[in-house]
A = this chain, B = another copy of it.
Amino acid sequence: MTRVLIADDHQMFVDGLKSLLIEEKEVCVVGEAKNGYEVIEICDREHVDIVIMDINMPLMDGIQASRELSKKHPAVKILGLSMYNDRDYISDILKAGARGYVLKNTGKESLLDAIATLQSGSNYLSDDVSKTLLSGFMKKGADQMMEKLSDREREVLDCIASGLTTYEIGDKLFISKNTVETHRKNLLYKLKARNTAELVNNAYKQRLIQ
């Protein structure tokens, strides 16, 4: 009997999954969580085999929750879940300790498959997902290796997105506007953007803001 915890902030989805999993004889739902904190809390006091972890959750999201959970309860297997077939999402949660990933737009079969596979000790990635991951690695080698931003650059990026001008940013961060210009230039280079508009756009796409 696999003991499953469902973590998703959409109660209706949770209700649906529960009713779906109850039909399965070798699975039982031992709890549900609406955010990362509740996941940790429940795993602290309940025996849980698998957490079905949605990525987008309030307060603490699925990525952060996976990080903390795999530290605190390494035996608990995490199955990442989201609606996005997005390379960053997938790799982020896998890095954070998840052992599988399924998309919400696949049917219940793949979910049951994933649960069984994880419970047996293996990892599970659906075809779509592994394709995305692979294409990501290919790209990484080829055209774009997404460079990391420094703390200061991230700070400047936030200011830019808020609509502040170079001068105002310098004022706010107590540095010269020339320095801000340099940071701005480096941001444009690192995010491969041609101007602020594309910069903010790419920052959103790479989840550097919000």
Residues of chain A whose beta carbon lies under 8 Å from any beta carbon of chain B:
9-13, 15-20, 23, 83, 102-108, 111, 160-163, 165, 193-201, 204-205, 209-210
Please, which residues of chain B bring their CB within 8 A of the CB of A160? 197
- Report whether B107 and A15 are in contact in the complex, using a CB–CB cutoff of 8 Å: yes
Q: A103: which B residues are within 8 A, CB to CB?
A: 12
23 cross-chain CB contacts under 8 A: A9-B105, A10-B104, A11-B107, A12-B103, A12-B105, A12-B106, A13-B104, A16-B18, A16-B20, A16-B108, A19-B20, A19-B23, A19-B108, A160-B197, A161-B197, A161-B200, A162-B198, A163-B198, A163-B201, A196-B200, A200-B201, A204-B204, A205-B210
Contacts of A204 in B (CB 8 A): 200, 204, 210
B108 near A193: Cβ-Cβ < 8 Å: no
- B19 and A197 within 8 A (CB): no
Chain B residues positioned under 8 Å from A198 (CB to CB): 161-163
Chain B residues whose CB sits within 8 angstroms of the CB of A194 once the complex forms: 163
With A and B bound together, what is the CA distance between A104 and B12 in angstroms?
Answer: 5
Closest 7 interchain pairs by CB? A16-B16, A163-B198, A15-B108, A10-B104, A196-B197, A200-B200, A19-B20
Chain B residue at minimum C-beta to C-beta distance from A210: B204
Tell me the minimal C-beta distance from A164 to chain B in angstroms: 8
Q: CB-nearest residue of chain B relative to A160?
A: B197
With A and B bound together, what is the CA distance between A67 and B199 in angstroms? 34
Given the known interface contacts A10-B83, A13-B13, A106-B11, the answer about A163 and B20 at a Cβ–Cβ threshold of 8 Å is no
A83 and B10 alpha carbons, distance in the complex (Å): 7
List B contacts of A108 (CB < 8 A): 11-12, 15-16, 19
